């Protein structure tokens, strides 16, 4: 119980820290038009788990042996990743993509502001993320780390990562021009490694890089986060089947209604739960082997597989 309470305290503090920084970093009028600022903030501050930025801070903490300066240096990257994640949700919810009307317990951005402003708000968040990565922290001594982080996050968000995964998802759901594709277990895993896993991996790796971690620790964090990302998506698929819509804050049962390939559809619920557990077991074993088991990363892995939303 004490460990769970400590983790909860860390997660709450990390989320509060990220939210305060996002409030500081997001542009306001007259720098940008009021409607764009309002639309971006509507989605950024709609709640959510803040898993990705929390993971960035936890990785910086673990690989720096709890150095507060390293965590502070990682904070802009954490915020940039959350901006990218939020942009992806805005675009995913559009009628041309998943056509969702509910996100984090309230109407999706395009329902409130219209498709055009939703597209522009997502574009704005994506661009602002890289502006932030290039600008902060404003320390010349961190330039090499920042450049590497920009590369890592850009690759994760782009066509070899999240964008590519979403394209495969559209093809598998028959929403793209051309022949519909059918995914087997390996294909499903590969799609999720791009669509969901890539940005989760980048989140953890960015924290380790900004903390100045040695390369073996960076690689260990990457392996840990690869398994964590897959477990996260498997649990997401499970929750779409049996989750409480009020707790989820989004429409449940939509994957099945849209005939999307999911872990429960291919493997069933029981095997899907087992696969998620196996991912978490590998992730925690990676941490132990790298001497990183005394930080928050292991607890975050348990939280991911045990979550209800």
Domains of the chain: 2-306 (1.10.600.10)
Predicted pLDDT of residue 133: 98
Structure token digits, residue 239: 């929750």
**Band of the pLDDT at 97, cuts 50, 70, 90?**
very high
C-alpha to C-alpha distance for 200 and 53, rounded to whole angstroms = 9
Question: What dihedral do alpha carbons 144, 149, 150, 151 form, nearest 10°?
Answer: 90
| SS3 call for 68 | helix
CB 43 within 8 A of CB 86: yes
pLDDT digits (tens, 9 = 90+) for 110-131: 999 999 999 999 999 999 999 9
Contacts of 191 (CB under 8 A, 6+ apart): 165, 168, 169, 172, 183, 261
CB 71 within 8 A of CB 61: yes
C-alpha to C-alpha distance for 228 and 249, rounded to whole angstroms = 22
Average pLDDT along the chain: 94
Question: What dihedral do alpha carbons 176, 181, 183, 186 form, nearest 10°?
Answer: -90
| SS3 call for 218 | helix
> Which secondary-structure segment (H or E) carries 106?
strand 106-107
pTM over 0.75: yes
C-alpha to C-alpha distance for 65 and 292, rounded to whole angstroms = 9
Is the pLDDT at 251 greater than 80? The verdict is: no
Higher local confidence (pLDDT), 246 or 193? 193
Structure token digits, residue 202: 């980048």
C-alpha to C-alpha distance for 255 and 272, rounded to whole angstroms = 15
Is the pLDDT at 252 greater than 80? The verdict is: no
Contacts of 113 (CB under 8 A, 6+ apart): 35, 38, 39, 42, 121
pLDDT digits (tens, 9 = 90+) for 129-164: 999 999 999 999 999 999 999 999 999 999 999 999
The alpha helices in 1-142, defined as continuous H runs, are: 2-25, 34-44, 51-63, 68-92, 109-113, 115-135
Predicted pLDDT of residue 257: 56
- CA neighbor of 146 nearest in space, from 87, 200, 80, 198: 80
Give the percent of the chain with pLDDT over 90.
87
Is the pLDDT at 1 greater than 50? The verdict is: no
C-alpha to C-alpha distance for 109 and 124, rounded to whole angstroms = 14
**Band of the pLDDT at 165, cuts 50, 70, 90?**
very high
C-alpha to C-alpha distance for 81 and 70, rounded to whole angstroms = 17
pLDDT digits (tens, 9 = 90+) for 264-305: 999 999 999 999 999 999 999 999 999 999 999 999 999 999
């Amino acid at each position: 119980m004490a460990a769970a309470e400590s983790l909860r305290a860390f997660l709450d503090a990390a989320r509060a820290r990220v939210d305060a920084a996002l409030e500081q970093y997001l542009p306001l009028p007259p720098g940008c038009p009021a409607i764009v600022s309002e639309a971006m903030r509507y989605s950024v501050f709609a709640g959510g788990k803040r898993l990705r930025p929390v993971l960035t801070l936890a990785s910086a903490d673990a690989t720096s042996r709890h150095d507060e300066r390293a965590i502070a240096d990682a904070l802009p990257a954490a915020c940039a990743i959350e901006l990218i994640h939020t942009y992806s949700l805005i675009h995913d919810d559009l009628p041309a993509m998943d056509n969702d009307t509910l996100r984090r317990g309230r109407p999706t951005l395009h329902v409130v502001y219209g498709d055009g402003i939703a597209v522009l708000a997502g574009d704005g968040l994506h661009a602002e993320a890289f502006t932030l990565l290039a600008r902060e922290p404003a320390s010349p001594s961190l330039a090499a780390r920042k450049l590497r982080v920009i590369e890592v996050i850009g690759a994760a968000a782009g066509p070899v990562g999240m964008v590519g995964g979403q394209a495969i998802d559209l093809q598998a759901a028959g929403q793209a021009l051309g022949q519909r594709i059918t995914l087997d277990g390996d294909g499903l895993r590969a799609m999720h490694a791009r669509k969901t896993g890539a940005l989760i991996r980048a989140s953890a790796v960015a924290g380790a890089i900004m903390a100045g971690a040695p390369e073996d620790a960076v690689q260990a964090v990457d392996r840990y986060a690869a398994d964590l990302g897959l477990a996260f998506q498997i649990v997401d698929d499970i929750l779409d089947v049996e989750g409480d819509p009020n707790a989820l804050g989004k429409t449940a049962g939509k994957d099945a209604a849209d005939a999307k390939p999911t872990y429960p559809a291919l493997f069933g619920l029981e095997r899907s739960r087992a696969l998620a557990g196996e991912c978490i077991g590998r992730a925690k074993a990676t941490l132990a082997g790298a001497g990183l088991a005394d930080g928050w990363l292991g607890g975050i892995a348990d939280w991911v597989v045990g979550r209800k939303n």
